[in-house]
Amino acid sequence: MSVDIKKFQKSINSLSSTKKILTVGDVGIDKYIFGEVSRISPEAPVPVLRVTKKEKKLGMSANICNNLNALGVKNSLISIIGNDENGRLLKRLLEEKSTETKFIVTDDDSTTISKDRVLTSVQQICRIDHEDEFFSFGELALGSFYGNFEKALNGHDGVILEDYSKGVLNAESIQRLIHLCREKGVFVAVDPGKGKPAYLYQGASLLKPNYLEAKELVHSMGYEQCPIEKMGEILIDKLSLDRVVITLGHRGMAMWDKKEGYNQIPTVAQEVYDVSGAGDTVISVITAGIVNGLTLLDACWLANIAAGVVVSKKGTAVVNTDEMLKLFNKLNIN
């Protein structure tokens, strides 16, 4: 690795400053039902699960808040949830993790998304999704959402738009929120949604797609074949972005900055057990790093280490600064 231990320690320490980050996007509850299967049901040819454990976790964009809290970063969340049991549970879980929830909009006509996973020790048996068939919100809910966003901007140093394509971030709201951030001079990072046209993310401070998403974005602008070295240049040029980071899985990540130019760093993951949630970790760490004065390259090195820890854990996980430093020291010893 090409990162000095003192510099890395200083970069990690900078994350838990007085800076505050606002997360925006669709949210939900991830419910896990664990159990054991030893027989088939006499009622139908399906396994009978004897439940041994249940867990409830923050899902979708709320997992960004999980990551920020684990890093010691002050944060808030804006979303639209239903006036239901899952909505109340979501707010309670967020508050227990120290995320500010006063900007969340509760809509009587909406359903708070939950995804119930039924698992044994060796496999997932099924997933049960509770969500509306069509993702749209009324004028009253959207008006409150935009009003809360403008209020929140005054007290935050960075914004993360985490697009899960469930209605909160859509063709109108994405551009409106980015423009408001630009007007206020607030850093805004975007994790794009699948299958959406690139122009929706125009003007963002940072765009962080994975490789397949980046291919879709440049394709939507008319570029059929494009080497990785050119993707970020095209996105920055055509979308008026300041920075682009493309995560490349086992190949690490590539980054482009108007001032710093192009860089690519290799992955540091030593064990890959589960990649779910790694993208949330990456954008959380990069955003926290940049709003605290790090260069894009230094912020990406932190995110690279953080992702290396997260993918070694089972399920959607988070990482703290002690774990990051431990992996860094291990890599430098080896």
| Beta strand pairing call for 124-130 and 113-119 | antiparallel
- CB under 8 Å to 332, separation ≥6 — which residues? 1, 5
How many residues does this entry show for the chain?
334
Contacts of 33 (CB under 8 A, 6+ apart): 49, 51, 53, 54, 116, 117, 118, 119
pTM: 0.92
List beta partners, residue 57.
30
- Phi, psi angles (nearest 5°) of residue 283: -70, -30
Nearest alpha-carbon partner for 110 in 127, 86, 78, 94: 86
CATH superfamily of 5-28+60-114+137-333: Ribokinase (3.40.1190.20)
Residue 217 CA, chain-centre distance (Å), reads 18
Tell me how crowded residue 306 is: count the other CB atoms within 10 A of its CB: 30
- Residue 276, classed as helix, strand or coil, is coil
Instruction: Give the closest residue to 69 by CA, choosing from 44, 98, 43.
Output: 98
Beta bridge partners of 160: 23, 189
* H or E segment to which residue 69 belongs: helix 62-70
Whether 280 sits among the annotated catalytic residues: the reply is yes
Residue 81 β-bridge partners: 106
pLDDT in tens, the chain (334 residues): 556 777 888 888 888 778 999 999 999 999 999 999 999 999 999 999 999 999 999 999 999 999 999 999 999 999 999 999 999 999 999 999 999 999 999 999 999 999 999 999 888 999 999 988 777 899 999 999 999 999 999 999 999 999 999 999 999 999 999 999 999 999 999 999 888 899 999 999 999 999 999 999 999 898 888 888 899 999 999 999 999 999 998 888 999 998 889 999 988 765 654 456 788 999 999 999 999 999 999 999 999 999 888 887 766 678 888 888 888 888 875 4
**Using an 8 Å Cβ cutoff, are 181 and 206 in contact?**
no
Strand 124-130's sheet: what is its strand order?
Answer: 47-60, 27-40, 113-119, 124-130
Name the catalytic one among 26, 280, 298, 322: 280
How far apart are the C-alpha atoms of 131 and 112, rounded to whole Å? 7
